Amino acid sequence: MAGALAATLLLLAPRGADAHANTQVGGTLRIGIGWLPPPETPDMRLYAEEGFDLDIAAEIARGMGVRPELVLVAPDDAAQALAAGEVDLVVARAGAGDGLRRGARIVETGFESGLSIAMRSDRPLASWADLKGRVVCASEANRHGRDLAQRLGATVKVERAPAVALMQVRTGECDAAIHDRVLLDPLFTKLSWQKFSATLPAVEPTSLVVAVSPGNADLAQAVAGALRDGTSPERWRQRREKWASTVSFEVYRDQVAADCH
């Protein structure tokens, strides 16, 4: 999963606009990412991350035969970082009208989802508006989800990873946990999650994309080639199923308190 992959990637600060990466085989590729996991976690435990940004970054580098350098780039600064030459590409989530689509050349990865929530099935909320005043768990990496919950007036409880956020719905610390709907769906098919599988219609869909500078068609083509075998609907179904199974196991591993009743 992404947490294990992240441990193998070199994390470096951005270099100046006059720096140029050698993206030939054996060279270095500077990849902008909106969130990087901490080097250490409680009890040294690895977690499945919120999305697949780190997995895609690793897959691009592996497919191109280069060494990845992950650079922390805030989502709103992605186009500027590309224009300034601080990174070679950015892996990010972008909506249909996102400014990144206008300011960069986009390579689609095939992953798209709206946001939804997991909550108790015996007394579910009726609408998104009902989140006002409720406690909503969200992972550190889920900036989009946190922003949505805050706009709706919820009290957001930020947790290290999706498993921790979902566990606190089970134990009662949070009224709901917000995540990608296409990741919650396979989780809800598991018998152990039926009591906590109430949800709401997905909203604010975004796609996972790779952005490069508008004039760098060669790099965009190389990225597309590196991802060619990993962007099919079947491959994404496998990733979603693995995410759900891993997160479900992590909740079982970490949960100490009993499910709320």
Is the separation of the CB atoms in 145 and 178 below 8 Å?
yes
* pTM for this predicted structure: 0.86
Residue type at 239 in one-letter notation: R
Cα 185 to Cα 74, 194, 201, 250, distances in angstroms:
28, 11, 12, 17
Q: Are 116 and 213 in contact (CB under 8 A)?
A: no
Give pLDDT tens digits along the chain (261 positions).
Answer: 444 344 334 333 333 333 334 455 568 999 999 999 877 665 667 899 999 999 999 999 999 999 999 999 998 999 999 999 999 999 999 999 999 999 999 999 999 999 999 999 998 999 999 999 999 999 999 999 999 999 999 999 999 999 999 999 999 999 999 999 999 999 999 999 999 999 999 999 999 999 999 999 999 999 999 999 899 999 999 999 999 999 999 999 987 655 565
**Structure tokens that stand for 99 in this block:** 């400014």
